[in-house]
Amino acid sequence: MSHQLINQDSGNTEYYTDPRILEAAREVLGYIDLDPASSLKANKFVQAKKIFTKADDGLSQRWYGHVWHNHPFSKGEKACHAKCKKKTCVTRGHHISEDVPGNRDWIRKLVDSYNYGAVTEALCICFAATSEGWFQPLADFPQCYLSPRTNYYNEDGEKVSGVTKGSVVTYLGSDIKKFAEVFGKFGVVKVAY
């Protein structure tokens, strides 16, 4: 069941990107100005100049420059009302008092920030949920479909195996050739036609 957290909802658990992928990201971007969904521990590997943690509420901040984006994978959820009877609340054993942002919120923020010019170049890793509405804005950009499936790391630095979905790295930027050359070793690179 723990592998489903990676695929569906991050819950209270953080998952970190494989260091080899982060090294490739720095090679493509040159450097990382911002990781908008990070932690101090994660940034030891990402090496971004600036991070936004959960406490900073990255979605409410201005994104800029060269961005690495590994957001908390989640379908999102609205806060509970006073007399909540949601099945998910019963299952997890508590109610939520604030909205939990989902994939759609994170992807929309990234693409909008790029389209408006604040983000000049970015790489986004997420699961390859090609039929989902939140994923569709990413389909307009070059992508590397990672193979084999990408296992993420937990807070203890252990690789979490058993991921049930494939991941994709999407590139928002102008140096498509460099992206393809660097990420081609991780899987098939496709460019929108």
In this structure, is residue 88 part of a structural domain?
Answer: no
CATH code of the domain covering residue 66: 3.40.50
**The domain containing residue 147 runs over which residues?**
2-75+101-190
5 pLDDT higher than 80: no
Q: What is the pLDDT of residue 79?
A: 61
Tens digits of residue pLDDT in 176-186: 999 999 999 99
User: Alpha-carbon torsion 11, 14, 18, 24, what sign?
Assistant: positive
Whether 95 is in a domain gets the answer no
Query: What pTM did the predictor assign?
Result: 0.83
85 inside domain:
no
How many separate domains does the chain show? 1
Residue 132, classed as helix, strand or coil, is coil
Higher-scoring residue by pLDDT: 158, 147: 147
Query: Is 64 domain-assigned?
Result: yes
Q: Is 160 inside any structural domain? A: yes
Q: Per-residue confidence at 193, pLDDT binned at 50, 70, 90?
A: confident
Q: What is the mean pLDDT of the chain?
A: 85
